[in-house]
Amino acid sequence: MKTILTGLRSNSVLTLGNYLGALLPMVRLANKHSNEAQVNIFVPDLHSIISEVDGDLQTNIIRNLKYYLAAGLVTNDNVHIYRQSHVPAHSELCWILNCVATMGETSRMIQYKEKSKGQESCNVGIFDYPILMAADILLYSAEYVPVGEDQFQHVELTRNLAMRFNHRFGEDIFTIPVKTADQVKFMGLSDGVRVRDLLDPTKKMSKSTKAENSKIMLDDTPEKAAKKIMSATTDSLGKIKFDMFNQPGISNLLQIEALVNDRPLDEVVEEWSGKTSYGDLKKQVAESVKTMLTNFQTKLSAISDEQVYELLNEGESYANKVANAKLYEVQKAFGLR
């Protein structure tokens, strides 16, 4: 059986970017494929501690998992939910892969450069973060890893490490995740998703950006979220066209409209082509986001902590079994067993 796997850090309430870039695509894939694929959803809590956590990490972890259920995730025997720190094989494989990866390739990671920029001293976890991510993926032989565009470089690094390892030991111990271009197709998208900052659409929407109106958080009231869309930065070209380079603000709105309603981007672009009223577009997108958040938050409030802990029980027992078996193969290859 194929495995589809993803994780979202839980340093704070998540953004609409996390939701549309990774969480919702994962839920849609899980609902479509969980009869013939294993679906692994986990909280990379060890990744969370590389940077500051807003509020209580435990609360954030449980809330993060509730988000999947509120987004409509099916739960059946093939859907597994777990916490990274509850499966020690992740850290163990990370160490082993540290001895396969090179300083050069890890230093080239854009996220590392961005996260360490301007910091007087940067913790080693920030540097090592993509290697732990590779371990998260390879332990479960995951071929499909639905993530936003900012994580593609890490998936490519994972592929390289797995191929190097297999080549070195002359065995196919690791399953190679599919290329990111094919991941995108598997998600039913034409391109990787990067939801943009509402005030500066040349940047991605990020929870760490200070300006409130730059991002929509999943706990924003639907009305507040709608207002943020209405005040989004656009341009002065006066035409509605999908062109991330020249019209990033308008393109971002078109993309949000398509993703929220699970419609092909081309169809939404076609519908608005030839129109010129940015106000009308904003009103439409604001309405879509408002409806989505209203439904999502209503469902979220009905999910109990107990429901999540019950799923974690099953999920962590499954994850430890699969991860330990793969770790043992790797340890044997290196002569550690």
Q: Is 113 a catalytic residue?
A: no
21 or 315: CB nearest ligand TYM: 21
- In this structure, are residues 204 and 197 in contact, taking their beta carbons and an 8 Å threshold? yes
List of residues 6+ apart from 59 with CB closer than 8 A? none
Q: Which is nearer to ligand TYM, 203 or 337 (CB)?
A: 203
197 closest CA partner among 229, 223, 237, 220: 229
- The question of whether 228 is a catalytic residue gets the answer no
Task: Give residue 290's identity as a one-letter amino acid code.
Answer: K
Among 43, 193, 199, 226, binds ligand TYM (CB under 6 A): 193
Closest Cα to residue 259, out of 203, 209, 196, 177? 196
| Interface with ligand TYM, residue 151, by CB under 6 A | yes
**Nearest-angstrom CA–CA distance, 75 and 39:** 10
Query: Binding ligand TYM by CB under 6 A: which of 3, 4, 6, 249?
Result: 6
Asked whether 209 and 201 are in contact (CB, 8 A), the reply is: no
**Applying CB under 6 A, does 247 fall inside the site for ligand TYM?**
no
Contact indicator for 28, 110 with CB cutoff of 8 Å: no
From the CB of 264, what's the least distance to ligand TYM, in Å?
17
In whole angstroms, the minimum distance from the beta carbon of 88 to ligand TYM comes to 15
DSSP-derived letter for residue 12 is S
Active site (annotated) includes residue 210: no
Q: Does 18 bind ligand TYM (CB under 6 A)?
A: yes
Binds ligand TYM (CB under 6 A): choice among 3, 4, 12, 21: 21
Residue 177: CB atoms within 10 Å: 23
Residue 86 in tokens: 């509850």
Looking at 59-67, 96-104, 130-138, 233-241, which segment touches ligand TYM (CB under 6 A)?
A: 130-138
* Residue from 45, 128, 150, 220 binding ligand TYM (CB under 6 A): 150
Evaluated on CA atoms 293, 298, 304, 310, the torsion sign reads negative
194 binds ligand TYM (CB under 6 A): yes
Catalytic residue chosen out of the listed positions 207, 224, 227, 299: 207
Residue that has been written with the tokens 């809330």 in this structure: 63
Provide the binding-site residues for ligand TYM, judged by CB under 6 A.
5-9, 17-18, 21-22, 44, 47, 133, 136-137, 145, 147-148, 150-151, 193-195, 204-205
Q: Any idea which residues carry the catalytic annotation?
A: 115, 204, 207
